Amino acid sequence: MEREKTVSSLSADLDIPLERDIFLRTLVRELSGNLQEIIGIDEASGFVSLVGQNMGMAIDQDYKKALGVSQLTREQVADVLVDLKRRIKGDFYIIEQDEEKIVLGNRACPFGDKVIDRPAMCMMTSNVFGSIAAENLGYAKVELQKMIALGDPGCLVVVHLKQTPASDACRGREYFKGDRSE
């Protein structure tokens, strides 16, 4: 029994960069990396999308409950997108917004350096943003124009809120109110 305590005490003093946050970010990185390598980036993105969509629906409900509303306005949706990322250590900010779109920039990924070379992980952002916007505003198409995961210095995300020639021309994922599948 005494030996176990001694080993435990010695281990606790080791300089090892491991704690819950790093462990979970690394876990997601390795899962998405394995999926990307085994089934390809498109399919891996699809799997990550399912998780992101479910998380988006839950986060949407949390914000509506906290705000005491049954539906968020466009301005509230934009604020929620920035706030939720702030809470998980992202650094998103609104570049512009109007009736057709919300354009967001980002200086820090919540996954930190674990996102490098793992663009499938960006589907979390796409699906959380798309789910929240569509559930409250009826429609969203999320376009990931720049991604830290691909080596860009920051992210540039456009959340199209209406089907327009510009949104039709862009590459992105579409989301609809009440849609729970891709």
Domains present along the chain, CATH in parentheses: 18-176 (3.30.1380.20)
The SS3 of residue 143 is strand
Query: Residue 132 is encoded by which pair of tokens?
Result: 């929240």
Cβ atoms of 111 and 25 closer than 8 Å: yes
More confident residue, 1 or 28: 28
Tell which residue, 154, 75, 56, has the closest CA to residue 107: 154
How high is the mean pLDDT of the chain?
90
pLDDT at 104 over 70: yes
Give CA separation, 49 vs 13, 21, 116, in Å: 39, 21, 18
Give exposure, 94-115, as e/b (b: 16+ Cβ within 10 Å): eeebeeebbbbebeebbbbebb
pLDDT at 9 over 80: no
What average pLDDT does this structure show over 72-81? 97
Three-class HEC string of 35-96: HHHHHCHHHHHHHHHHHHHHHHHHHHHHHHHHHCCCCCCHHHHHHHHHHHHHHCCCCEEEEE
Predicted pLDDT of residue 1: 52
pLDDT in tens, 156-182: 999 999 999 999 999 999 999 977 544
